[in-house]
Structure 1
């Protein structure tokens, strides 16, 4: 058994499961419907695939060597996460008899807008079922400039001396993607399973408030961190 591979899998699993913007966006979408949550999870995995390709192509090294570019991407990513958080918080303050209702719950026919009649309400606009949650997951992960730098700094530590670097690096990166493909859909399914309680008017307002606040705080941290530097 490859001890380094086992050790890396454990480290990568902890990194993937750590609550953050990806986790919160999946929960936010899974409250709309199972399909929305899984679509968002797949979008996150797509973002990780992009980071894998960029790391292998050497773009991660460029990000590490050019602080201004890194800070610019960090600001863009933070601004997007902040936008998601504020839109979620804004939706929880819209009164009305349908507040807390989830249109299309269980059907997966809507997309998260954050601007509908209630918190996290799904509507039928958008290019197709799951398109907007998929895009949210992808953009949230893809605009995180720390991910490719993490790939660049972490993966070489688990490449045995004297072995070809490229095949091993690709294997390690794919392990991260596979872990994400397992973890985030599981989170979406668990949230959907608890939907009968979480989608009640009061519970949905509370959960939307928590996820919106978490995204807002994460966005502010991401935005302020490069500005402090």
Structure 2
């Protein structure tokens, strides 16, 4: 079986999804713009690690099993939605404090947290792996594009490719936003960037929470 067309299609669909606005892109934009290149690159590493984990779980069928158990999937939605909503709350709270002059620095709490490499990596990993929409996306991607009889080498290449594309895209985004030329422009718009990212996190998080509560109620 010629697996090259499958891999090309898989890469193309995944890359388009990577560029779509969502929590992952918002996290890189918000933090690389505000806290610099190192934080942005470690967040990119965490996000790509989460995507690699999602890909492995989908290829091995573990994600499908989770999705087939309504209570377990609704619980995952509840946890993931709560986490994303919390990120949105923190971003919007920082904007509110900046606007009203309360607090010594907007998002100072997050600044201390994300200046730590390990914490920046963890933030990226958590944001991706706890997003139930990512789980559903990878189940759909793998089940529709990866045939069951695909070779182990082909599956291995697919995993490396999905991880590599994710790391390159998010790292490039972090790099561009943290250049000296961009930093001066971005810092002037930091309030609006934080606000927009806060809205994205909040909308995605609350929509996931709404779905999880509905799912749990249906299964009572």
Q: Which category of TM-score, normalised to the shorter sequence, fits these structures?
A: 0.7 to 0.9
Q: Structure 1 residues 196 and 71 mapped into 2: Cα distance closer, same or farther (>3 Å)? A: same
Distance 1:60 1:215 in 2: 23
Give unpaired runs (5+ residues) of structure 1. Answer: 100-114
> Which structure has more RCO (C-alpha within 8 Å, separation ≥ 6)?
2
The structure that is helix-richer by fraction is 2
How much has 1:51 moved relative to structure 2? 1.6
Report what 2:133 is aligned to.
146
After TM superposition, the structure 1 = structure 2 runs for residues 109-148 of structure 1, keeping only pairs within 5 Å, are: 117-121=104-108, 125=112, 129-148=116-135
Number of positions where the alignment pairs a residue of Structure 1 with one of Structure 2: 210
How much has 1:126 moved relative to structure 2? 5.0
Give unpaired runs (5+ residues) of structure 2. Answer: 216-220
How much has 1:124 moved relative to structure 2? 7.4
Report what 1:32 is aligned to.
35
TM-score normalised to the size of structure 2?
0.83
CA contact (8 A) 2:39 2:115 kept: no
Report what 1:67 is aligned to.
70
Report what 2:207 is aligned to.
221
CA contact (8 A) 2:58 2:142 kept: no
Distance 1:151 1:32 in 2: 30
Report what 1:42 is aligned to.
45
How much has 1:13 moved relative to structure 2? 0.7
TM-score normalised to the size of structure 1?
0.80
